[in-house]
Structure 1
């Protein structure tokens, strides 16, 4: 587990709470899984950095091989004015530059390579955007300006093949074009959202509870008390709670009390509380297994 704070980065053993490595890097750092189960992308002003978490699990026939490496920031970086969203999907990872409106895409398992160069595409104007590379070579990305974005465009082989210009806030059920709201009884913010191991939605609300949602029915199936009541700060870069999932565990940071809460999603109970030395801002969790493998890779060797 990697945590960012105002002094840099802290690598923790999520099982024991032991600090494995401290990296001095003052400033605001955003963290995103690279998709290969080993690396985390660090958005640092005008560059994407690569943090090697030091673990990897590779399927091999009817079993897996586990490997360990020296953790820390890798030499490889990706220049990107106002480095923004990172989206891993189907063996690829896309890096979006808000300041240039450019998209860099490469194989997720190559993010730590010193030599592989990403494929680069450009949107019509710089904006706070996002992009995702699909298995068939299609690139889906936002279009907009610094003031607004409501367009989603799909391109293939450099040509536009589909678009919508009425997607306010750029959020939809892509299967049928619908949007369903769920009444939670309490507010949340952008670091409050995660998906469980069975695809269930997880939302950490102001009352300190993790709401478990059946995304097919829109029903809340559990409410798990995690942290004390909280409220979003005016400045989104100020420390606040965050939730991430790896395996059957959910991890919740309590910025106000410098604590990490580990939740067993199967039982719906808090399994552990870990005190932190620094006030956490963002969090990334990996377990060595690729979160967004290439097509069919997740089924090789029956490793589902």
Structure 2
């Protein structure tokens, strides 16, 4: 159906399925019944989502279509649906979109599968559109496609991983860092093929074809969740400094990190309240956003590593012992932050540049995972 415009749609998981919600008014566009714990990953084309399920990576069409036509666009909507296309995986893990490609990692086999993001236009991924290779051992890994045709990929085992290297198109190894214990989390920043990875002794930055270690004052410093922006040289991270001990209360840090990818340095920002791994996002001007336990959305100027605004958004909350239980979730698209509050079954919309809470929409389900797709913003 042709429409005058398409508003961003949120895909929200709940116990029993996935709802697709129109973020302009909260209306439920589709309700897809599906059991199991589901994770949602933008496919990178402004329309599709990869759903991590027991089958692997399933293709979900959010039904928003933008067709360029000379100096303007035509907009169409269809009913969202699972297309039936799936990339089989034992343990579907990280999904990364970069350089016009999308890479998925199967933690169960160590297999990396890559496809041209545009191949999803018909909602189907045929075998000839997929290329794959295996890392040496199964592990919780990640792969990042580069414009050069190389792929940055982790190596390790289920018990130990400390290597990330550049795998060239012919399978040979280029640049490599073995000084990234516990490697987890990645982000891409402004510039050609600028990528960061989290470690437990300070992050590493891949820039100009080489890895650069980010020095930190702490002996243990984990930034396993990283959030980049193609319009900013700064990467926002979590910042943990207490090595986990079995049986001990997990760390609830109140500081976040800001990595400057141009010189591989990092600064910290004290927020005064704790957060969790689903608290983060980036604004279109490179702002960092972090939702803290006190219910505030902190808006950070990443260039100065300072909080510029705080917006009261959700009820105060604490991190669940089981990370798969519903908790507040932050996603950003353009100048807007979308924040779920499972306690009140609401979806809040905040304009990042002004720090204004624009709307609070009632949901019919308790929200868990979420992703928001703006059809006019592709990566």
TM exceeding 0.5: yes
Shift of 1:114: 4.4
1:163 alignment partner, one of 160, 164, 176: 176
| Shift >6 Å, 4+ stretches | none
**Could you list the runs of 5+ residues in structure 2 that have no partner in the other structure?**
1-9, 184-197, 206-260
In structure 2, how many angstroms separate the alpha carbons of the residues matched to 1:60 and 1:134?
Answer: 30
Superposition pairs of residues 204-223 of structure 1, within 5 angstroms: 204-223=291-310
Superposition pairs of residues 1-304 of structure 1, within 5 angstroms: 1-111=10-120, 112-115=123-126, 116-157=128-169, 158-170=171-183, 171=198, 172=203, 174=205, 175=261, 176-292=263-379
8 Å CA contact 2:281, 2:330 repeated in 1? yes
Paired residue total:
292
Shift of 1:46: 4.1
8 Å CA contact 1:150, 1:165 repeated in 2? yes
Provide the residue aligned with 2:242 in structure 1: none
**Could you list the runs of 5+ residues in structure 1 that have no partner in the other structure?**
293-304
8 Å CA contact 1:94, 1:103 repeated in 2? yes
Mean alpha-carbon deviation: is it higher for 106-115 or for 8-17?
Answer: 106-115
In structure 2, how many angstroms separate the alpha carbons of the residues matched to 1:281 and 1:168?
Answer: 30
* Pair 181,266 (structure 1): closer, same or farther in 2 beyond 3 Å: closer
8 Å CA contact 1:192, 1:241 repeated in 2? yes
8 Å CA contact 2:65, 2:375 repeated in 1? yes
Shift of 1:290: 4.2
In structure 1, how many angstroms separate the alpha carbons of the residues matched to 2:68 and 2:331?
Answer: 24
* Pair 40,210 (structure 1): closer, same or farther in 2 beyond 3 Å: same
Q: Please report the TM-score for the alignment, with normalisation by the length of structure 2.
A: 0.74
Secondary structure of 2:299 counterpart:
strand
In structure 2, how many angstroms separate the alpha carbons of the residues matched to 1:265 and 1:96?
Answer: 32
Q: Please report the TM-score for the alignment, with normalisation by the length of structure 1.
A: 0.91
Mean alpha-carbon deviation: is it higher for 23-32 or for 69-78?
Answer: 69-78
State the superposition RMSD in angstroms: 1.6
8 Å CA contact 2:299, 2:355 repeated in 1? no
